[in-house]
Amino acid sequence: MKRIATIQDISCIGKCSLTVALPIISATGIETAIVPTAVLSTHTQFSGFTFRDLTDDLEPIRDHWKKEGFKFDALYTGYLGSLRQIDIVKSYFKEFGNDGAFKIVDPAMADNGKLYYGFDEAFAREMGTLCAESDIALPNISEAALMLGIEYPGEEASEDTLKVILKQLVNIGIKFPVITGVTLADGTFGFIGYDSSKDEFIKYGIEKVPYKSHGTGDVYASAFTASLVNGKSVYDALVIAADYTTACIRNTYNDPERVNYAVNFELEIPYLLKLLGK
């Protein structure tokens, strides 16, 4: 069996980070090791959430894994709680990121042009340095702009603007940035990326669902990681993740009993497996 390690928080309620990554990746037949960076009662879009920082556990977990000789097919990081955690994650990349392990960074820290509660611009810049150690980085438009320290171009930024931003991300060392949640020139919704090793832009969009929710970036990055480790090419994995995430958003949009803090990703797992030919 393939094995990945994913490093992000546990939000007990909120359907994001580990409570999304673990079920999605496991369902596709991959062993999913987790490194919880913090435990929160809910994600940070609620008020009054509890936050237990687990930074002090990260190095002992790494060292024990090293002693046991565990190997991983991918390392996938999401929401990180502090500057120190970013540094420690780099040491996980150094320790476990060779032998062909994919390093995937979702710099989950912002949306709608604004950083999530508790983050500042220094954190955003530092996240850029972690993305620079990844094979693929998956920022949304807000995160891309914040890592660069440039003005937020808006959710409807043009493809030309996004291409300039992609090149700027390469200039700060990010080999293969893929901006998610973008609206393409033909009005479809999807991603645009730039593979600097091939000097090639890639993009894909599907019909937009008029509904926005938290946690969709986490669903996207988890489905992408699962697809890649299941043997899909980077482009095919990005497309599968876009199709699956859009199905999750549509399912939620059509559900009169939906919750307002996350998407119905569970109900579309059979569709993800179908996309993967399972």
Please report, as ranges, the residues that interact with ligand PXL according to CB under 6 A: 9, 11, 16-17, 40, 43-45, 79, 108, 116, 214-215, 217-218
Looking at beta carbons only, is 37 or 227 nearer to ligand PXL?
Answer: 37
Looking at beta carbons only, is 50 or 171 nearer to ligand PXL?
Answer: 50
Min dist. Cβ of residue 38 to ligand PXL (A): 7
Min dist. Cβ of residue 163 to ligand PXL (A): 26
Min dist. Cβ of residue 49 to ligand PXL (A): 8
Q: How far apart are CA 276 and CA 278, in angstroms?
A: 6
* Closest residue to ligand PXL, based on beta-carbon distance: 44
Min dist. Cβ of residue 95 to ligand PXL (A): 24
Strand, coil or helix: 111? strand
Confirm if 74 and 60 have CB atoms less than 8 A apart.
no
Min dist. Cβ of residue 75 to ligand PXL (A): 17
Ramachandran area for residue 104 (φ above 0: left; ψ -120 to 50: alpha; else beta):
beta
Min dist. Cβ of residue 80 to ligand PXL (A): 9
Looking at beta carbons only, is 65 or 79 nearer to ligand PXL?
Answer: 79
Looking at beta carbons only, is 11 or 251 nearer to ligand PXL?
Answer: 11
Confirm if 67 and 41 have CB atoms less than 8 A apart.
no
> 4-16 burial string, b = 16+ CB within 10 Å, else e?
bbbbbbbbeebbb
Give the angle subtended at the CA of 91 by the CAs of 81 and 67, to the nearest 5°.
115
- The one-letter amino acid code at 83 reads L
Min dist. Cβ of residue 39 to ligand PXL (A): 10
What are the residue ranges of helices labelled H in 149-267? 159-171, 216-229, 234-253
| Closest alpha carbon to 144 in 117, 118, 162 | 162
Strand, coil or helix: 3? strand
Looking at beta carbons only, is 79 or 93 nearer to ligand PXL?
Answer: 79
Residues 6+ apart with CB under 8 A from 126: 83, 86
Looking at beta carbons only, is 145 or 184 nearer to ligand PXL?
Answer: 145
Looking at beta carbons only, is 17 or 225 nearer to ligand PXL?
Answer: 17
CA distances 129 to 85, 116, 117, 173, 266, Å, are 13, 19, 21, 8, 33
Min dist. Cβ of residue 164 to ligand PXL (A): 26
- The one-letter amino acid code at 94 reads K
Looking at beta carbons only, is 45 or 129 nearer to ligand PXL?
Answer: 45
